[in-house]
Structure 1
Amino acid sequence: MKNGSYYGIDFGTTNTSVFLYNYEQGKGSMGTGYGTDGKDLTPFSSCIAISKTIKNDFKFGREVKERINEYADDYQIITSFKSLLGTDREIVVNNVRYNGKALAFLFLRYVKATVDAVRPDFNEAVFSIPVDFSAKARTELLEAAEAVGIKVKGFVSESSSAYISKVTDIKAFSKVMVIDFGGGTLDLSILNLKHNQVYEDAVYGIKFGGDDIDKELALRLMPKVYPDVSFEELESRRKDKLMNEVERMKIEFSEYDDYTMTLGEGSRPVDIDYDTFSDIITPLITENVLNSILKIMEKANVSPENIDAVILAGGSSSLRPFADIILSLFGEEKIIFDDENNRYQWMVAKGAAITSAIDCDFRLGDDICILLSDDETYPILKKDINKVGDRSKPISFSLTTDSSDAHFIFTDSTGKNRYATISVNAKGYVDEKFDLLVEIGKDQIARVIIKNDYIGNGYHVKHEINKLRFYYDLKDVEE
């Protein structure tokens, strides 16, 4: 590693966090997490409010989340713009169209301005993203970030980020489950450590998180606080206060056994004990979290006994009913708890920052091959040798039959796992050649270009290959 300051960004569905990792004189030290108001307190809420009547009137972050119902009359509230990246969907507000890239630009501009106020060197970062983030979504996120002045050094999966953030705690374990339980999603992965190299064996995720728990708590507890009105009848300002109060209560119950809900006029104070709280949310967690854990273990063909350690990440991981379920399934000795004041919400961004420090040295976990006519595989880029940023040498192929098109089948080294089949126009000549080039971008997407000069007019075909297997080496990673 080189001496310097490195940034990681956890670009989450519900929350976005920025983390700084410092490396000086051969030793890494944890810097600061940046979020609301640039303070190391809470991440940015991934919310945007766009005025329905006034041009270029935007509000962002926790201000929007805490006043979401109050703002709803005058602003279009957007709480899941990350899901628009890579799609053709748009949101129209005040006759202006916003796609996912435009919304990401607005939000990241706000994030950069907030962090810049305290750290003017915030110009480059590694982004953590879901494993299933499409090639188009990655490209749009990269373009939005670089348009606001954040150079994207690379991408890393959220589960790998969480893993890297706890690297000194898990180097002794070969098979590790990562459970990233955030505000909007639950993402799981099972990673395998072999000779300091980490591979993802299985991934699984669902749309369920802390926001869903907040909604259930509000609906169940509201009759106690506002006994004379229904949730639908409650005015916007009071709805916001109720949602903010249940979020605070949820956080408090991570440490305490009692909480008094006080919402001011029109409500009455209500004492809630931990058992009541647990009875409301435990069925939700059991249905969603436990079932997801069982599914990913089935996918990886492992049992709880085969898992050596479990890393918990994401803000919702601090919920005691969640921890109880994980402990009962795996046992306390296997759980890697966060040891920095329960700062689960910063773990993924922290891992992304460390990834930046090691220069995103992700290498192919398997070959990228062409399946030849005799069913043999011909490697274009090789595992262990080629990495993110590498480009193949130009390679020429010829037709084996008189055909009007050529089919290029990309596989792994076994020939069984097919990445893509690309069809290219042909003239059917015996000496007709196709020139092929493959490059792995920093977004971990392999981009293929196949040219056929016989067609003329610069004819070529482009294709993107996603979901390649990569691994990274832990020998240079230190806390």
Structure 2
Amino acid sequence: MAGAMAILGSSILALLLAGYLAQQYLPPPKPKVIGVDLGTTYCSVGVFQPGSGKVEVIADKAGRKSLPSVVLFTDQGILVGYEAQELADANPLNTVYDAKRFIGKHFTQEELSTESSRYQFKILYNKGSAEFSIFANESLRVSPEYIGSLLLLELKRMAEQYLGAPVSKAVISVPAEFDERQRNHTVKAAQLAGLDILRVINEPTAAAMAYGLHKVDVFNVLVVDLGGGTLDVSLLNKQGGMFLTRAMAGNNQLGGQDFNQRLLQFLFKRIHQRYGAVPIQKQDVHHLRQAVEAAKLNLTLFDSVQIRVPLSLPDSSEGEGGDRASTVLFEETVTRDLFEGLNRDLFEKILDPVEEVLSRGHLSRYEVDEIVLVGGSTRIPRIRQVIHEFFGKEPNTSVDPDLAVVIGVAIQAGIMGGSWPLQVSALEIPNRHLRKVNFN
């Protein structure tokens, strides 16, 4: 008996030693599970690297780590991401974006009519669900999950090209307020793209994992997620490796696009004051929108930026219906102070859902242990300042806010795939009675 136990002990020791040597000297295996962030405005894909324990957010051929959540249907085929975004202004009726707002969501006809008024593409009512009407070669009706599947398929291709191997398993993130139907339809979108979803994780929990909060001793975590089109604020309670979403609030009509629109309107007024006319050609408007987006990004780093855009303007002496046009080079200096002034009221609105989640969570601002920023719009200095002034301490900005969710999802994907070195897994406590409060 003693001899058998000795042999068993030696065998176990040999296995452990072999595992250790394999980790030290053999090349690490390729990741088996990808992490996907299917965002409203942008989406991303990442992998947890066995051995190094680092997350790699996969870039496209141009080095961009986020893909616009835009799909364009043309007579020649379907374009996804940046290609679709570039041609969106030229073909707005067949360009679908913000599909995540509709996926799996139940609408009344009145609700859908109100929501569809915000978009140029046509949205149809189908027994409580939304469908998009497209005409490219033929008339089509496509579902939000089909649009999602096209985006996920592109992310899957990017991952396969990076890994040099087929990919079939994934972890995906969803907003914390998504109900079971919305979660199931998100999974259906992934299945249409050929992905088997091993776990659905809430976006605030994923962000907390990206910041490493699943491995440190914190209790009250506030996640402020401000992207291109929506603001979501979540209060998480964390004990050990478990997260409970305690309260949620937000504004589904506040984001980077709204800040851009304020600056765009200002530039239109400037153009009209200077030249007596405004741009009417779609290409000129598109170039102005691009310049505004670039200016917003550069103003996070610099106090002022210079906008230069060639425009073809109608001859003001002929009125708007005239055929004659002249080309001008529009130049305007935009300062950070000007940008902040144009958006002052919008920036202050960010505190409304923050105060709501604290009230519903029965928590004072001083009891928040960690403030986590997610979404590209949280790069704006004034927004960070507003949050800092409210809480009396700096928010955590140690992770790229554009990529925080996908990094957290990729960590969870690595855990699900058994990658080493193993991380502390995050578990979410379901709270099916929780409802998000929306401010407009």
Give the structure-2-normalised TM-score. Answer: 0.74
Whether the aligned pair in 2 keeps the contact of 1:214 and 1:247 (CA below 8 Å) is yes
Partner of 1:279: 341
* Greater fraction of residues in strand: 1
Unaligned runs of 5+ in 1: 367-418, 420-465, 470-479
Instruction: Find 2:398's aligned residue among 328, 333, 338.
Output: 338
Once the two structures are superposed, residues 439-460 of structure 1 have per-residue CA deviations (whole angstroms, 9 ceiling, x without a partner) of: xxxxxxxxxxxxxxxxxxxxxx
* Amino acid of the structure 2 residue aligned with 1:92: S
What residue is the counterpart of 1:299 in the other structure? 360
Q: Deviations over 1:35-82 (max 9, x none)?
A: 5x345434110011113xx2x62122123323421233xx51111111
Mapping of 1:132-171 within 5 angstroms? Answer: 132-167=177-212, 171=216
Cα distance in structure 1, aligned partners of 2:42 and 2:340: 24
| 1:182 and 1:314 in contact (8 A); partners too | yes
CA distance in structure 2 between the partners assigned to 1:315 and 1:267 by the alignment: 30
Contact kept? 1:22, 1:29, Cα under 8 Å: yes
Instruction: Report the alpha carbon displacement of residue 221 of structure 1 after superposing the two structures with TM.
Output: 2.3
Structure-1 residue corresponding to 2:122: none
Q: Is the 8 A contact 2:243 2:426 kept in 1?
A: no
State how far apart, in whole Å, the 2-side matches of 1:230 and 1:350 are.
Answer: 47
Q: How many residues align?
A: 356
Higher RCO (CA < 8 A, seq sep 6+):
2
8 Å contact kept, 1:67–1:240: no
1:86 matched residue in structure 2? 104
Shift of the 234–364 alpha-carbon distance from structure 1 to 2, 3 Å rule, reads: closer
Unaligned residue ranges in structure 2 (runs of 5+) = 1-22, 106-128, 312-327, 418-424, 436-440
Displacement after TM superposition at 1:170 (Å): 7.3
Across the aligned residues of Structure 1 and Structure 2, the Cα RMSD in angstroms comes to 2.7
Query: How far, CA to CA, are the matches of 1:119 and 1:359 in structure 2?
Result: 18
Asked whether the 8 Å contact 1:169–1:336 carries over to 2, the reply is: no
Q: Give identity over the alignment, percent.
A: 21
Equivalence for 2:330: 268
1:86 maps to amino acid: G
Alignment partner for residue 318 of structure 1, among 337, 361, 379?
379
Q: 1:149 to 1:336 in 2, by over 3 A?
A: same
For the residues of structure 2 that align with 1:305 and 1:80, how far apart are their CA atoms?
35
Identify the residue that residue 126 of structure 1 maps to in structure 2: 171
Aligned with residue 45 of structure 1, among 68, 73, 86: 68
Task: Return closer, same or farther for 1:183/1:285 CA change in 2, 3 Å cut-off.
Answer: same
Write the distance in 1 (CA, Å) between the matches of 2:307 and 2:145: 40
For residues 16-52 of structure 1, give each alpha carbon's deviation from its aligned partner in whole angstroms, at most 9, with x where no partner exists.
Answer: 111222132xx51132x235x345434110011113x
TM-score (norm 1): 0.68
Decide whether the 8 Å contact of 1:192 with 1:199 is kept in 2: yes
Residue 67 and residue 224 in structure 1: after superposition, are their counterparts in 2 closer, same or farther (change >3 A)?
Answer: farther
2:94 corresponds in structure 1 to 76
Measured in 2, the distance between the counterparts of 1:89 and 1:235 equals 31
2:402 is paired with a residue of what secondary structure?
A: helix
1:230 shift after superposition: 6.2
Residue of structure 2 aligned with 1:245, choices 281, 288, 291:
291
CA displacement 1:352-402 (0-9 Å, x = unmatched): 111122239665748xxxxxxxxxxxxxxxxxxxxxxxxxxxxxxxxxxxx
Structure number with the higher helix fraction is 2
Matched, 1:116 2:160: yes
Say whether 1:28 aligns with 2:89.
Answer: no
Alpha-carbon shift at residue 137 of structure 1 (Å) = 2.4
Deviations 1:204-246 (A, max 9, x none): 2221211121112111222224544666x52110111111111
